[in-house]
Every structure is written in structure tokens, then in C-alpha cells.
Amino acid sequence: MTGPSDSQPRQKIARQIVLPWKKSLAMAITSLRIRFFRSLITTFSLVLAIAFLCFTLSNAAIARELFRMHGDVALPLLTQAGYTIDPTGQNILTGPKELWLMFLSLLVCTVGIVNAQLMSVTERFREIGIMKCLGALDRIILRLFLLEALFLGILGAGFGAVLGMIAAWCSSVFHFDTLSYTHMNLLPLLNQAARAWAMGVGLSILGVLYPAILAAKMQPVIVMKEEY
Amino acid sequence: MDTNTHHIIRVVGVTKTFALGKLPVQVLKGVDLNVATGEYLSIMGPSGSGKSTLFNIIGGLDKPTSGRVFIDEVDISQLDAYELAWLRNRKIGYIFQTFNLIPVMTALENVTLPMIFAGMHSDHAVDKGRQLLDLVGLGERFQHKPSELSGGQQQRVAIARALANDPAIILADEPTGNLDSSTGGEIIGLLQQMSEERAVTIISATHDFKMLSVSDRVVWILDGRIDKIENRDELNISLGTIQERHASAPR
């Protein structure tokens, strides 16, 4: 066990290896830009899954608004479209089938992200090894990968959420064309889109966690091992 | 301690055993070695002699199975991850056979990265990086990516990067292995110049006989042990026989 006198020089050394946030951000962005297509592929499953999630959530939000505005007039239309009224008769719920689909699509998406990120880490073993030879700490490598995933999440999930929202709007205008949309409150819709977005960012970071830890724990000697 | 005999590196009874499948293979069988500050040392030996393993252990990239390695009288097998990172960052500069520049960064960014890790202010790091690239003769090409540079130029960038934090030791693993003879000669000349002007201790693992003539000492490794250590004056006499032996060795 290390006493206070023991741990003091250690902490001093820990603070001596740094990568400022500004520099970390710049490196993460450069890395994403240079590996643009690779990043695109990593994000693609996220965009699709979040678009689907947002589509389902937005549909429900629109349905609730239509129910609130038109009441019983909208009810047969909504029931026909697969929505169920909750026991209190106050609210419209998404069907259990949709919930299952949503869950499955998110699961598949997360597995896809883990897979793509593992691939990307393997491609960059050498680069990571070099950084470690130059003195990079585990947490610096971890931070770079997490930052990249954060950007991918913000952009990919943002794009997916907008896509899903637009699709939901078009679909509901098409399906419930007899109802008026004039006094509709858009706030619940945006709220659902924001939820889908946040979910996407979360999944992107969750998906990179294992690959990034793998990269951070890598021994620098791997750079020398190439010729064996 | 007498400054004349100050040893920047002391290797004491180092052994290394790898588990090759279920079979343990002892690659190093007890190596003792002292390296004086500012010395230019070459480690020679055939493939599989344990040369690279010894080299990695000295550089803190690998841990010995038993024995100790002291760098500046600090036992590096006792260091934790933070201290090892610090050692790699400040005390040791690495040069590799395959150059190992970060492909997505420019020459200047590659050189400044160790300084950024060391906490140097970005502007100072850029200034120093430009100076170092000037020093290795690449002042004009600082914004080129590694893929836009020749092998010799990439190795020059790697040398500039190795010098970034004014390390006490430069470890060069076959620095001329991927270069043609004349480019290799230039790189060796540059390393020698750095060793003389900056009093950096240079340790290189090599197959290149041009390296020997600039070395202060040559350590021959054979079957995981030090076969012999030759000083430069002994070396000049025996160089003819070395080359003969090399020429007649089965390839």
C-alpha cells in the first residue's frame, strides 16, 4: 500500500504527461476527417437505427397530438393505424410490436458499432503503439476514441433523428389526411426527436467503450513486433 | 560518482523467457551491460539471438523475467504505468526500422506530439519542432505527410521526433534496415552528429556494418548471452574479419 509520502511523486509524474482538451479535440476531428469513409460506415447503422427510433417515437407523439386536438374523431383512424389507447383513455400508446422492433434495432445497431470500432482499433494498432512509445497514457488513448465516438454520435444520431422526424411527419400527413394539423403543438415531436438523438449519442459511446479500452491497454512493444 | 564512469544504463542479470505455446523459451540467459553517458553503442547479433528482446527491455517496452535494468539509477522494472510513460516521453527517444510516423499527421505534428504530451505550450512546441526539422535537413518539408516523404526523409523526421524532449537516450532499432546504402549512411552520419553535439547516448540494434565504424562500442549477442564487447579501437583492426565472417555466413 502506498502511503501519502509514496503517492506524492507518483501524482506529480501523472500530471506531467498531458494532452490538452483543445489538442485532443483537434486530433479526434482530424482523425475522423481523414478516415471519412470508415467513419461513415461506422455511423451508418447508427443513423438508420436512430432514424427508426425517432420515426416510431415521433409517430406516437403526432398521434397523441391528433388525439388531443380531435378526440373521438381521430380515434378510429388511430386504432386502425395500430395505436392502443391506455386504460385511462387519456393517452395513445405505441404498440408492443413497435417497441420490440425498436429495441431490436438498437441492439443490432450497438453490436454493429462495436464491430466497426473494433475493426477501426485493429487498423490503428500501430498508431496507438507509436503514441504509447511517445509517452501517451492509457487515458489519453481512451479519451481520443471516446471523443471520436461522441462526434460520430452527435452527427450520426442528429442526422438520423431529423430523418426519422421528417419521415414520421410525411407518413402521418399521408395516413391521416382527413384531419387538420393547424393547431398542432410541435414541442412533443421535437422532444421525442431530442430523446432519440440523446439515445444515439449514448449508444455510440457505449459501442466504442470496449474497443477503446482494448486500445488503451495495448502494450507499446507491439510496434516492434511487426517483423517477427 | 566519477562523471567519467557515469552509467546512464545498467543491465544486471537480465533474463527473459517467452512461453511459445506450452514450451518456455529462454531468449535472454543472463545479460550484464553498462552503458556510459554519451556513448554510441551498437548491439549486433543474428536474428533470434535475443537482440531485439534486450533492446526492448532496455527501452522499457518489455519487462525482464528476472534481473534489473537501471536508467539513471532508477530500476525501470519497478515503475508503474505513469512513470513508464514519463520515461518514454522524456528520457528515451525511439527510432524504428519502419520509421513509425503517425500517417495522419504532418512531419511537424509528428515531431511536436511528444512535446505536447510533455505539457509544452503549443507555440513553443511548433518553434522547437521547426528547429529540429531544420537540424535534420527537412526544414522546408514540415507540412508534408509521411506518405509524401521518402524513406530517408521519414527517418529524419523520426530522428527529429526522437530528439523532441531532449532525451538522455536514443534507442534506434535497425534504423537503416529499410533504407538503401547511401541513405542509410546519411542517417548514420546524422545519428553520430547528434551523439557528438548533444551528448545523447545512442543505442542501436543493427545488422549494418556501416554502423560499426561510428560506434564507440559494439556488443555482440549470441544465443541470449553477450558473446563479446569490442571497443572502437579493437573494432577497426578486426573489421576485416567481421566482414569476412559476414560474407561467409550462411544466408
* pLDDT, tens only, A42-100: 899 999 999 999 999 998 888 888 888 887 788 888 888 777 777 666 667 777 788 88
Q: How far apart (Å, rounded) are the C-alpha atoms in residues B53 and B39?
A: 21
* Partner-chain contact A221 B102, CB within 8 Å: no
CB crowding A124-163: b at 16 or more within 10 Å, else e: bbebbbbbbbbbbbbebbbbbbbbbbbbbbebbbbbbbbb
Mutation choice for B interface testing from A10, A133, A144, A222 by most B CBs within 10 A: A133
Q: How far apart (Å, rounded) are the C-alpha atoms in residues A93 and A190?
A: 18
Task: Tell me what ipTM this predicted complex has.
Answer: 0.84
**Strands (DSSP E) found in chain B:** 7-20, 23-36, 40-44, 66-71, 74-75, 92-95, 169-173, 201-206, 217-222, 225-231
Write out chain B residues lying below 8 Å of A133, CB-based: 61, 88, 94, 100
Which of helix, strand or coil describes residue A151? helix
Write out chain B residues lying below 8 Å of A137, CB-based: 81-82, 85
* pLDDT, tens only, B132-183: 999 999 989 999 999 999 999 999 999 999 999 999 999 998 899 888 989 9
The pTM for the full model equals 0.84
Long-range contacts formed by B30-35: CB under 8 A, 24+ apart: B30/B67, B30/B224, B30/B225, B31/B67, B31/B221, B31/B224, B31/B225, B31/B226, B32/B226, B33/B9, B33/B219, B33/B226, B34/B7, B34/B9, B34/B10, B35/B7, B35/B8, B35/B9, B35/B10, B35/B201, B35/B203
Q: What is the CA radius of gyration of chain B?
A: 18
To the nearest whole Å, the CA of B102 is away from the closest chain A CA by 6
Q: How far apart (Å, rounded) are the C-alpha atoms in residues A120 and A104?
A: 24
Q: pLDDT value at position A3?
A: 40
Nearest Cα residue to B219 out of B236, B237, B231, B207: B231
To the nearest whole Å, the CA of A151 is away from the closest chain B CA by 18
Q: How far apart (Å, rounded) are the C-alpha atoms in residues B117 and B211?
A: 31
* Partner-chain contact A132 B56, CB within 8 Å: no
To the nearest whole Å, the CA of A149 is away from the closest chain B CA by 18
* pLDDT, tens only, B107-117: 999 999 999 99
* Partner-chain contact B83 A10, CB within 8 Å: yes
Q: Name the band, by pLDDT with cuts 50, 70 and 90, for residue B10.
A: very high
Write out chain B residues lying below 8 Å of A138, CB-based: 81
Q: pLDDT value at position B247?
A: 53
DSSP string, B32-55: EEEEETT-EEEEE--TTSSHHHHH
